[in-house]
Structure 1
Amino acid sequence: MSRIPVAVVGATGAVGQALVAALHGHPWFTVEALVASERSAGLKYRDAVRWVLPGSVPPDVADRTVLDVTADLQTPIILSCIDASLARELEPQWAQRGHRVFSNASAFRLHPTVPLLIPEVNADHYALVQYRESTWKGFIVTNPNCCVAGLAMALGPLTKRWSLERVYVTTFQAVSGAGLQGLAALPIADNVIPWIAGEEEKLQKEPPKILGWLQGARIVEYPVEIIPSCYRVPVRHGHTLALVIEGDADLTPERAAEAWQDFRPPDWVRQLPSGVGRPIRVWTEVDRPQPALDRDEGQGMVVHVGRIRGQAGRVLCTVLVHNLIRGAAGAVLLNAELSVSLNPV
């Protein structure tokens, strides 16, 4: 098929850069528009961006002129990596004009008729787009918070076999999760910051929607209590989560490990360009997973689970997720691929 033109909005930020890199040579999509703030608009992309990824700016977009966020975009698909406050204003406007908007922002994740997707876990929730706002000719699809991406991927296979009652989660979040501006401002060297604005609320509210079930025009939330604590740590990329999962008496560490090891998404999801055959890797080594060693597996789309231990009804484990890829840019792209596979442009 002919490649579909897309716009990357927020193209100079850390997530936007990861999307631009992932789109280089993509079999389905081609970058037609790069969009950023007024400060960057009118510049060539190579001059507007402070490239923080390995290698250099992809040559096919390096000389592209950056557009302002108010530009009249003509692409059928918009990949949005902007701040939630700006997304709240602009994304409904794009949807009203008929665009398919795939958003990394938190603005519409909990909107009742906007899907909050991890395709391997809840691809059926995509059907919510048919119940979108009546003024929207297009629609908005969101992906979860970067830590929730790892948490919900780990919990998903367990909810198919057991009832989960409560999850304690402590996150150790990489500095790249704060974005380029936040990264420069954080006093993170030789330090741990024991609070991240808004993160604990997202960890509490997003997983029940993701793990819930579609009932007509709404999602019935999965009834699990999540008790989070979030820390910023001096790691560049890769969020680590320590979980205590409480549920049915026959939920044991051995059975949980088997559920994670056996987990496979549907074939048609695995075959998407950004999909991976085994999105969860289970570790038996006592000192894995580690961000520096493991975050890039599967081009950053694999979620790692290790240090599995505990007792009947109470399983402890460590989860690792690449925050820029599986938790952001790769998630946006995978959702766009899911949409095109189900409903071609």
Structure 2
Amino acid sequence: MINVGVLGATGAVGQRFVQLLANHPWFNLTTLMASERSAGRSYADVVNWRLDVPFPESVGDIEVSAATPASCRDLDLVFSAIPADLATDLESAIAQSGVGVCTNASSHRMDSDVPLVIPEVNPDHLAMIDLQHDHGTDGFIVTNPNCSTIMFTMALAPLRSFTFSDLRVATMQAISGGGFQGVAAMSIYDNVVPYIGSEEEKMESETLKIMGTFDGAEVVPAPFKVSASCHRVPVIDGHTMAVWADIDAPVEAVKQAYRDYIPPISGLPTQPEKSVLLHEQQDRPQPRLDRNRGNGMTVSVGRIREGLRFIALGHNTIRGAAGASVLNAELIATKKYL
């Protein structure tokens, strides 16, 4: 078994990590890390667990550790769900100590030697781990993208055989994307908030790195343009987005590309049977009906229309966060980087 820990184990994404790792067939969850005020107490005592998710009793008695490199000394891999301002130095220190880091934080996503990975889209970018080793890091850092970027890029993956140069996307993002406390009730009830800090910039830059080409020394960004507009809506879980692409192909040909899509990887425990699922119904996908498909790891696509226009949806804290990092770690394990 591979010994793993979670940084930021009490937060919204940290809880999803714990949920996914508690009974994982490859990973042995031994260490849960949080703030100094939680250190020394049992996980069950300090976590404010989500009411809609069963609490994994097997981890309740684990004593919470402080979030430091020393707490990671007996681990093979750490999953990080800490804020970006804390992640920058702490994740680097953990990697320097010889431990692998799979992180949901944004701090290192655009670093030139750090892979920004979606296993079904760019598994070859994991070779950038070798660049980190060449630069003197004993461990490594592997990042997953922003939650909206993941859904967007997954929805684009089956379309790579078509030519396009201009992509536009408008998101409708769930309140859980704002952390465990979400968005203040008086701000989101009966409302749409047309701004999410840095979200649009992340979608516009991260997509180009993910869908770019790794030439052995660097990632050459994908040769198209992304324009994003991001909005917070009163939905608990599940990010929905409307996408416009300058693809000059019949709608039926695009639908068939989704039906025929086979990801470049297979057999990983967290990977769903369908990474991208095409809905034929006119009114799908919808968050309440489709966010939990594939245990929250499937991205749903529908309403493909001339133009080319379509709707994509995925679970933001599973597929768009913790589940993405766990899937990355499974791919890392198969590539013998641990």
Q: TM-score, normalised by structure 2?
A: 0.96
Alpha-carbon distance, 1:216 to partner = 1.5
Structure 1 window deviating more from structure 2 (41-50 vs 185-194): it is: 185-194
C-alpha contact 2:4 2:77 (8 A) present in aligned 1: yes
Q: For residues 333 and 285 of structure 1, do their structure 2 counterparts lie closer, same or farther at Cα, with a shift above 3 Å needed?
A: same
**CA displacement at 1:76 relative to structure 2:** 1.1
Structure 1 residue 222, shift from structure 2 partner? 0.5
Post-superposition CA distance 1:155-178 (Å, at most 9, x none): 12212x122111110000000000
1:158 match: 159
Residue identity matched to 1:26: H
Root mean square deviation of aligned Cα: 1.4
Paired with 1:173 and 1:24, the residues of 2 have a C-alpha distance of 27
Between the aligned partners of 2:211 and 2:253, the Cα distance in structure 1 is 19
Match of 1:309 among 286, 290, 305: 305
Question: 1:323 aligned to 2:321?
Answer: no
Q: In 2, Cα distance between the equivalents of 1:173 and 1:93?
A: 33
Is this contact kept in 1: 2:69–2:94, CA < 8 A?
A: no
Alignment-derived partner of residue 42 in structure 1: 40
| Number of residue pairs the alignment of both structures matches | 335
CA apart distance, 1:188: 0.8
Q: 1:30 to 1:53 in 2, by over 3 A?
A: farther
> Are residues 217 and 150 of structure 1, via their aligned partners in 2, closer, same or farther at CA, if it must alter by over 3 Å?
same
Would you say 1:343 and 2:304 are equivalent positions?
no
* Residue number in structure 2 paired with 1:253: 251
SS at match of 2:94: helix
> Does the 8 A contact of 1:288 with 1:306 survive in 2?
yes
The match for 1:21 is: 19
Contact 2:69 2:90 in 1 (8 A): no
Name the CA distance, whole Å, in 2 between partners of 1:229 and 1:158.
Answer: 21
Q: Displacement of 1:192 after TM fit?
A: 0.8
TM-score, normalising length from structure 1?
0.94
Q: 1:57 Cα shift?
A: 2.4
**What amino acid is the match of 1:336?**
A
Deviates more, 1:184-193 or 1:106-115: 184-193
How many Å apart are 1:200 and its aligned residue? Answer: 0.4
Alignment-derived partner of residue 326 in structure 2:
333
The 5 Å alignment of 1:1-345 reads 3-70=1-68, 72=70, 73=72, 74-132=74-132, 134-159=135-160, 161-184=161-184, 187-247=187-247, 249=248, 251-266=249-264, 269-310=265-306, 314-343=307-336, 345=338
Q: Which stretch of the first structure deviates more once superposed, 60-69 or 300-309?
A: 60-69
SS of match in other structure, 1:79: strand
Q: Which runs of 4+ in 1 moved over 6 A?
A: none
Paired residue secondary structure (1:181): coil
Q: In the alignment, residue 30 of structure 1 is paired with which amino acid?
A: N
Contact 1:208 1:222 (8 Å CA) reproduced:
yes
Shift of 1:185: 6.8
Contact residue 6 and residue 31 of structure 1 kept, 8 A: yes
**Compared with structure 1, are the counterparts of its residues 71 and 48 closer, same or farther at alpha carbon in structure 2 (3 Å cutoff)?**
farther
Residue 154 of structure 1: how far off its partner (Å): 1.0
- Do the aligned partners of 1:263 and 1:278 also contact (CA within 8 Å) in 2? no
8 Å CA contact 2:69–2:93 kept in 1: the answer is: no
Alpha-carbon displacement from aligned partner over 1:116-149 (angstroms, at most 9, x marks no partner): 1110111011111101162310110000100011
Distance of 1:48 and 1:184 partners within structure 2: 22
Gaps of 5+ in 1: none
Please give the alpha-carbon distance, in whole angstroms, between the structure 2 residues aligned to 1:223 and 1:102: 27
Percent of aligned pairs sharing the same letter? 46
The offset of 1:308, in angstroms, is 0.4
> Does the Cα contact within 8 Å between 1:264 and 1:277 map onto a contact in 2?
no
Structure 1 residue 335, shift from structure 2 partner = 0.4
Deviations 1:27-53 (A, max 9, x none): 000111000112222221111111015
Contact 1:308 1:315 in 2 (8 A): yes
Deviation per residue, 1:166-198 (Å, 9 max, x gap): 111000000000001343477111111110001
Deviation of the 1:238 alpha carbon? 0.1
